Structure formats: structure tokens, C-alpha cells
Amino acid sequence: MTKRFLEKTVLITGASSGIGAALARELATQGAALTLCGRRLDRLQELKREFDAQNRRCIIRQCDVNKTSELEEAVNATVKEFGKLDVLVANAGFGVVGNFETLEIEDYRRQFETNVFGLLATAKAGLSELKKSRGVLVLLGSVASYVSLPGNTAYAMSKFAVRAFAEGVTPELKSAGVSVVLISPGFVESEIRRVDNRGQLQAEAADPVNAWLQMPADRAARIIARAIAKRKREKIVTFHGIIAVLLKRHFRGVFFWLASRGLRSRREPG
């Protein structure tokens, strides 16, 4: 196993499940010291026990990205424990679904509070330490930032905003030695599609995306880890995600024809 992250310290928000947890496991195997943040303390404690058994360096912090003080405390705890912060992964997020006609403005506002303003607060909290280490700011976007589909406008709008932020802030931070890596996943194995419009997991809800179309989270994590190590400006994760973006960019008529015939509006789980 390549130890690309040996002696590197990484903080990950939304680390209790899905891409966040898988990325934590991948980076741990590559030598990283980890600060894992999330709202579900029990999940974080499970990961901590797993890493402790493997002699991995790890601390956990219960953290809501909508609470700036908790983000700042997590960054301070990281520096106190490990001495620095090399990589900050702004991963926390969820998806509001439903047709525009049935959603309330508050649903859109709630989506932006976490996916956009929570991401910005995460970046703000860690920026000074990243400048000291000339580190990497990792922003979790989505293929939805290129492809807005029926029943998915709130989520797509939030990820459009993340992509716009990434594109603009990359040259701003370059002179300080901080690299920005935008990760744009397609369908990855995750609980996100079973989370309701208020950000609560509906454990019994069915995943609306067929399992064969989902990339395993551990495979996605390996791809993301390579992109971070190489400081790539953007990495689209999943083959179908790459195809969707290419169709939208170069064959817009074909894309919208396929979308109108093959895609159904998503509904809130639960």
C-alpha cells in the first residue's frame, strides 16, 4: 500500500458514513492522522474503535457544520493533537428532493445552509492552518452540479454553488500555497439517498438508485485519495458521472431527450 499520506493530518466532516467514512479508512491505511467530524457520535465512536484496533492515529469530534464554533473547536483539537492540519475535507451534506411545486422555500434554504454555507464555514475554520502547511482544501461537489434533474433542483443548485466557489477560490488561494480539489461524485454507495429533507436518516427507506449503478464507497475513496495526493483541480468520480457530464457539455439535445424519457422525479424518502 502506497503511504501517500504518511505524516499528513486530515480533518473530514460528514465522516460518520458513506464517502466520508470510506475516505477515512482509505487515508488511514495510507498513513494519515485523522480528525473525524459528524453529527452521529455513535458512528464516529465505532470508527474510532476500528482505528484504535489498527493502531491508527485518530480523534473524533461531534460536529454540525452549521455551528461555526464546533468547526473551529475541531480544527483547534486537530492542531493540539497532531500539530498541524494538512488536508481539510468539506464532505458533510445531504440532499433535498421533490418537485419545485411541492417544496417550500424553507426546503431550499435548509439545503443551502448545510451544503453551501456549512461548506464555506468549514473552509473558513481551517484556512489559516492550511496556509501554514501549504495544504489542500477538498470540496465535495457532485455530478449534479452539471446535471440538474427533475425532483433534484435544490440539491443541484447547492452543488452548482459549490462548483462556482471552487472555480473562483482556487486562484485566490494558489499564492498562499493552498490547493483546492473539487470532487464531483456520481452515484456512490451511501446513505444520502435515504436521508429526508430535514437531514434525518430514514433507515428503512429503499435506495432509489439500483445497486448495480452505484460505485462501492471504498473504490470511490481510493479514487478521491489519489486526486487529493495529486492536488487535481477536479475529479469526477464514477464512469456514468463522466458520461453524463460529457453528454451535457457536448450533446445537450441527446442528454435532454434521454432525461425526458428515462428519468423520473425523485421523492423524499420515508
For the chain, domains (ranges, CATH) are: 9-262 (3.40.50.720)
Residue 258: the pLDDT is 62
What parts of the chain have a pLDDT lower than 70? 1, 190-197, 199-213, 254-270
Phi-psi category of 156—alpha, beta or left, where left has phi over 0 and alpha has psi -120 to 50? alpha
Could you give the CA distance from residue 137 to residue 103 in angstroms, rounded to a whole number? 32
- Predicted TM-score of the model (pTM): 0.89
Name the one residue in this structure whose C-alpha cell is 440538474.
148
Those residues whose C-beta lies under 8 Å from the C-beta of residue 99, and which sit 6 or more positions away, are 150, 151, 265
Phi-psi category of 122—alpha, beta or left, where left has phi over 0 and alpha has psi -120 to 50? alpha
Residue 133: the pLDDT is 98
Residue 256: the pLDDT is 66
Residue 197: the pLDDT is 60
The answer to whether 11 touches 24, Cβ cutoff 8 Å, is no
Reference 112, options 67, 159, 178; nearest CA is: 159
Could you give the CA distance from residue 2 to residue 31 in angstroms, rounded to a whole number? 9
Q: Is 159 a catalytic residue?
A: yes
Q: Which three cell numbers stand for residue 210?
A: 439500483
Residue 187: the pLDDT is 83
Q: Which amino acid is at 32?
A: A
Could you give the CA distance from residue 88 to residue 99 in angstroms, rounded to a whole number? 34
Cα torsion 252, 255, 257, 259 to 10°: value is -140
Residue 147: the pLDDT is 87
The neighbour count for residue 177, using CB atoms within 10 Å, is 12
Could you give the CA distance from residue 242 to residue 142 in angstroms, rounded to a whole number? 11
Q: Among the options 3, 8, 84, 155, which is catalytic?
A: 155
Residue 207: the pLDDT is 52
